[in-house]
Each structure stands twice: as structure tokens, then as C-alpha cells.
Amino acid sequence: MLKFYFNRLTRVQNMSVFIQCLNPLTGTNNWEEKDENYDYHQEVARSAFADMLHDIERNQTYYLGIKSAIEKKHQNGEKANVLDIGTGTGLLSMMAAKCGADTITACEAFTPMAKCAIKIIQENGFEDKIKLVHKRSTEMTVGKDGDMVKKANILVTEVFDTELIGEGALSTFRHAHENLLEENSIVVPHTATIWVQVVESSTVCAWNTIHPIQNKNKCLLNIPYSVKSCSGAAAVHDIQLTQFPDNAFKPLLPPQPIFRFDLSGKSTLLYDEKKCLHVKPTVNGTAHAIFMWWDLVMDINNEVLLSCAPVWEHPDTKTLQNKGFSMKVIANAMPWRDHWMQAIYYLPVETSIAANNEISLIGYHDEYSLWFQLINESINEVPDCKRPVCTCNIHVAYCRTRIGQLNDYTRNEKYIKALEKKITSDTVCLCLSDGCLLGLAAIKLGAKKIFILETNLLSRKCIEMFVKTNDLSEKVEVIESVNNLPPESAINLIFGEPYFITSIVPWENLHFWYLVSRYSSQIQRIPIAATIMGIVVEFKDLHKIREPVGVCEGFDLSIFDKLIQASSDKSDSPIEAQPLWEYPAKALTLPFVIKKFNLTQNVYESENVNISETVPILIEGTCNGVALWVDWQLNSEITVSSGPTIEVHPGKRISWDPFTRQGVHLFKDITHVTLQSNVLWSFNFIPQYGNVKFDFRVLSKNMQ
């Protein structure tokens, strides 16, 4: 199953493919040699089955549900004929075989996984019990010459995402009941329930809408009405809510079950539905957003529950608290899953509510999505409400992290202080960053004129909207292309945050250095330096997204591990971007400097960098990753960091900047390290081509 990429030229030579790729540092397109099956390997590596298979609770509850269903059919004197939709590795089918199913048909449409599942099923000795069909379930046939001789009477499937229904679960179950299952079939899971909780949280709001830029009680930049009134993006905001600070939100009412889906087939699953809850808030406050999660009941006796609730609302939490366990201990013991997180939905209108005054909380869903609204009174007739769509371009142009970054008062304050030291009434500033509202704010700080480079169309529209709202047209000129940058004689200050939409990992924002190098070093600039930093860590869970599964619930899945690893080696960068505030990590070393760059010098005149050093392990632990970030030195006194927010202490959890994604290197071989261990790191950088390469290796005592 290969993706087709438009506007891409390729040529094949010696079983390789040359792909034209954008270098985010230089901003130029380069030819890169890749494996001829590069697209295929990307598909496989990103299939994201691995972290799901590390979810012990998921695996065990499915096992119990399957066992219960098969026993029930046998107790009724029936054969247990199982259909497994989207089998993946074949794990659930092998569970069914182990539990004594009479027949098992598994279907898998993704070709690499279908082939892999066949090998895994053979390796575990179930090839005579499981029939694998390489099709979507909606393409399967039943009959003498069909994919199944007769309809199944047990369905087991896992087709859920963070939003529960986003992968087409409703249509999958509905089609199966109408075409592939007998009446009175048992379905695993049996039911699914979506839970919602209304909250007040300025922190949450900061991810969804832009706030005015303030300085010393003075407004430097007002917000367009179209931004204030926009309902936001329809895309789900998935998040690890258990890691969200408990002092950053206020629940306004207890969690409410709003949609319950009977997956058993006794009632038809609806693609379009609305549900109104009449509830009384427990406290006064302003309703900003909805926290959402869901749970599954795996068996018809309602005895096996899998909950995706955050720790403060998890059904096991009160039980553990009554036994004397602290919330910290409970949170640490909660099942971790990156495939089913919680979600935030933003209410179209902020609403003030009062305790004990009944309100109407309304939920809507179509075949794939959820959305909500809240009315501050009890209503009888539920209004229709269209799925939210961004009308201001902000939510399309920028990711949630960037929107939060634009609202970070502490960060903005540092940039404003740095600008104040440089700006005079004669300042003509060139701003080199995408969506840089601080560049516009420089006008209110006294700058004579601002040039803003905006090569991204949507970002440019957003900036032009802010320019118009703040009556800055006479002092701001928006430039669409680097080829149209003003001459050196026209400017005397170059400013950047730096932030670029094309940047994924933090150091790719060094694109600022390449842009600023079009001018001589005589022109003042902010920032003046950038330092790539690193720290060796022990992740509590994050490493599981790349960790081999091995044996899962007694079944050998090493063939799957080899498939994923082989494709990852051919398609993945050794460094990926992650929002580390969501993923607990313990420091095993102190932060170390990898390379400091002087941004006042021309990047093309800089020498190639080839560094290799070691960093000592300062506390015993499990070494499974290295975290990387960039510190931006605005001047000799002010630094903005995309890394830790407080001082790092070995052995303690690291607090990360929540408004950037850090770079992460995950070790393939997880190693127990002691005080005698070191980590060898190397860094290579070729300024002329913008090539960056990291390498990390754990050295035990006998290797040093």
C-alpha cells in the first residue's frame, strides 16, 4: 500500500530512489537517496501497533472478553465461530484459538501486516485454526465460495482511536452486524461509553485562541474579532490529561456519560446523533472546554471494564485511595497508552455558570467526529449545531503548541525586554519568523517600520489580519518571498523568535540563521546565539512506542518486531519530536552542551562541526533515551529555552516547556546504567548544506 506523492520527481538507480526533500534549515530542496521502497517502509514504521501491544490492560481485558464469549457460546451448545476484524499481528485471533474457538476468520487490509500476521500465526502454531483474509471487512463475502462459509457468532475487533469513532468504528460494527454476523452474536467489546467533564481553564484556552499581547499593563497588540469569534479547529486535541497539572483547571461538574454505543447489534448504531444532558454544576465558574475520554465493557456480564479516564476520574483511583495510596503513586501505576489518550474539545462560546443552576450540555457526533456546546439553561428542544470549522485561519496555519506559545506571557515578556533594549524611533526591523506577532508588537514599542517575511500563505493571511485590526498598514510591510527581502540599507535590526512552520525538531528553527546570513554581521540581531542542549533520561513510558514487543500474553510477536525495526531503520530519523511535558522522564545526567552557534556570524562562513564527547551517568537507572532542545540567547542577559523550565536534578523528574516539542533519541537496546557508565555522543553539522546528524551510545565500564 504505497502513498502517491504529487510534485515529486524520482529516478531509480541501483535499487535506490532519489527524492526531492525540503531541508528545513536552508529552506532549499535537496535530492536524497532512499531505499526504493521508502514509501512502503514509512507506512510500516508509522503503523503504530507497538505501543498498543505494550498496553497490558488492553491485552488482558480483551483476553477475558474473548474467553467469556467463547465459554458462553459453548455453554449454550453452540460452536464459537469468531471473526476478528483488523487483526494486525493476529494477537486477538490467537487468543480466541487458545480459548477454544471452533473457527476463526481474521481479516487485515494493510498488506505488510497481513503478511506479517500469517507468519506470526504460523510461528505460534495456529495456522490450522486461523484463516486470514487479506481484505477490509466491508469487502468480505459469506457463502460456499466466500471468505467465510457461514456467518460468525462472535466478533472481536479493536478499531478505536482517541475519539473512539474516528477510525470508522460505527460503520465497521454496523456493516458486520448486517452482513457478517448471526443474530444474537456476542461482540467483544460489548459496549462503549463516552464521558465528558466541563472545565474552567485559562491554560486550556491558551491552546485554542490568541490573547492580546500585554506589556506593563499596556496592550501592544489587539486580537481580530474573527479570531475571538472562531469556534476553532474540528480536529481532536488529544492529550495525556493525567500529566496535566491539577492546579491548571477547575472541574465544574462531575464526569457525565453522554454517548453509549451498544456494539452488540441489539440496536442500530446511528451515524448522526445528538444528546442533551440537563445537569447542575457543582461550583461557580466559566465553562471553557470539555475533557473527554471513553471506556469499554468487554463482556455481556458487564464485569470486565477498560477505562481511558485520567487518573483523577479513573474508576480504580478511589479504591486505591481508600487503601492508603497517594495520588502520585496511583498516577504512576495507571496503565499507559499513547494510542488512546484523552481529548479536549473547545466550547464555541465561553459560558459563565452558577452552582446548582441547571444547564444543558449537548453532545453531537457524525460517523467520525464529536463536538459539543453548552447552554446556560434547561432546554426542551435540542438545537442543531454544525461541526466546528476554523474561519480565521489561525487554527489551520498553526498547531496547538504554537498557539499556546504565542500566549506564553513569560516567554513574550523576555522577547519584549530584548526588543526594548534595541528599538528606537529610528528602528526599521526585519522580522524573520512565521506568525510572529511580537514583530508587530515592536511598532507599539516605538519602531519606525517593520518588514515581516511570511512565505506561508495561511500564516501570511493571519498576519495581514492582525495588521489591519491594529491599524498598522502604514508601518508594516509583509513580504511573500525571500527573493523580495529589503536591501541591507533599508533595515537596522533583524528579529526572530525563531519559529518556522516547516520546523519539526527545535534546531530546525536555525533556518533563522540561514535567512539572517543574507545580511552582513554589522546589522544588529535578536537572538545572537543558539545552543543545542541534551540530557540522558529514563522515560517512564515513552520508550514503549519504539520498544520491541517480544512475547505478548504468551504469544511470540518477534516477527512483528523485526518488520517494524527493518522499516524504521530505512525510513525514520533517529531523532523525533515529542511534547515531553506529557511523558514523565527522570534525569540520569546533568544537561550538557552539544554545540553553541554564534548567530551574528555568517552561517556559510562557519566551519564544519564534528564533535564527539562523553557525559557521565550520575544516578543508577534504566537508560532508554536522550532529550534534546535549543536555548536561544536573545542578548547577553536574556535566554529563552525550549527545554527544562526549572533546574534539573539527577534522579528527579524533569519539568519541560509545554509550548515546544523537544527532540528525542530512543535507544534500541535499553540498558541498566550505574555511576561507572557514560554515554558517548557525537554531533556532525555541515553548514553549507544544513546537514545535521546526532549519534548516542551507552558505554558500560568495560567498554570505556
Residue 451: strand, helix, or coil: strand
Whether 407 and 472 have beta carbons less than 8 Å apart is answered as no
Angle at 550 between CA 548 and CA 553, to 5 degrees: 125
- Tell me if 569 sits within 8 A of 638, measured CB to CB: no
What cell was used for 427? 528602528
Contact 70, 153 (CB under 8 A): no
* Cβ atoms of residues 613 and 681 within 8 Å: yes
| Cα 49 to Cα 410: distance, rounded to the nearest angstrom | 39
Pairwise CA distance, residues 279 & 664, whole Å: 44
CA gap 134, 86 in Å, rounded: 10
H/E stretch holding 617 reads none
Amino acid identity of residue 111, one-letter, is T
Backbone angles phi, psi at 327, to 5 degrees: -60, -35
Secondary structure (3-state) at 589: coil
Are the CB atoms for 340 and 194 separated by under 8 Å? no
Q: Give the CA dihedral 569, 570, 573, 578, nearest 10 degrees.
A: -70
What is the C-alpha separation between 189 and 338, in angstroms, rounded?
20
DSSP string, 236-270: -EEE-GGGS-TTS-EESS--EEEEEEETTSSSPPP
Measured distance CA(413)–CA(419) in Å, rounded: 10
Residues serving a catalytic function are: 158, 167
- Cα 184 to Cα 153: distance, rounded to the nearest angstrom: 7
> 158: which 3 cell numbers?
479493536
Please give the Cα distance from 502 to 27 (Å, whole number): 9
Nine-digit cell string for 628:
534534546
For residue 311, the 8-state DSSP code is: G
Could you tell me the strand order of the sheet in which 29-35 lies?
12-13, 16-22, 29-35
The DSSP call for residue 655 is: P
Report how far residue 393's alpha carbon sits from residue 395's, in angstroms, rounded to the nearest whole number: 6
Give the β-pairing of 639-641 and 621-633: antiparallel
User: What is the grid cell recorded at 18?
Assistant: 532519489
Cα–Cα distance between 564 and 546 in angstroms, integer?
A: 9
DSSP string, 489-501: GG-SEEE-----T
